[in-house]
Amino acid sequence: MKQKIRFEKNIKDGILTIMESSEVDPGVVQPLLEEEYSLEEMVQASKDGVEAFIALMRRSSFFPARDLAEKLFNNTKEFFTDAGAEKLVIEYNDTEAFPGEEDFRLEDDDVELDAILDEDGDTKEDEMKEIDSDDDTPKFTPEDTSEHEN
């Protein structure tokens, strides 16, 4: 799942707003939350290190996983030291949590389904006729009282 975490400074009021949104379907982004923090406390926590930053940032409504929290810390260091920076957007894809995993891809894009389904690679007309030779039509008699008749 792709996420965007947006940091906005309100220097006049001394507030840092963190907004999280997520891509729920391809191309459809839904806002998830908006949290306000003391800008001064977040700047200080950023200076104090990753543990202090994560401890201050995490709340019951916004509790990012460790790898995301560390990414937010690393990407916001300059943002908090730059007095002129007012907005920062950090994108995160949860597949980053598994760096050793590779995306599944077919080696050949032109794979034909029939070639995969054929066991021996050769289907003969006689084999198909042999399979369809029996009449599979259901037959019911007036004495048949099965549920299928109704």
Task: Report d(CA 17, CA 37) in Å as an integer.
Answer: 6
Q: DSSP assignment of 7-52, as one string?
A: EEEETTTTEEEEEEEEEEETTEEEEEEEEEEEHHHHHHHHHH-HHH
pTM beyond 0.75, yes or no? no
Q: Mind listing the pLDDT tens digit for each residue in 94-108?
A: 877 776 666 656 565
3-state secondary structure of 94: helix
> Residue 22 phi/psi, 5° resolution?
-140, 150
Starting at the earlier edge strand, list the strands of the sheet with 87-93: 28-38, 15-25, 2-10, 87-93
Measured from the Cβ of residue 67, the count of other Cβ atoms closer than 10 Å reads 14
Q: Mind listing the pLDDT tens digit for each residue in 123-150?
A: 566 566 665 566 667 666 667 666 654 4
Task: Report d(CA 115, CA 110) in Å as an integer.
Answer: 11
Share of the chain above pLDDT 70, in %: 66
Residue type for 92, please?
A: Y
Q: Mind listing the pLDDT tens digit for each residue in 4-56?
A: 999 999 999 999 999 999 998 888 889 999 999 999 999 999 999 999 999 99
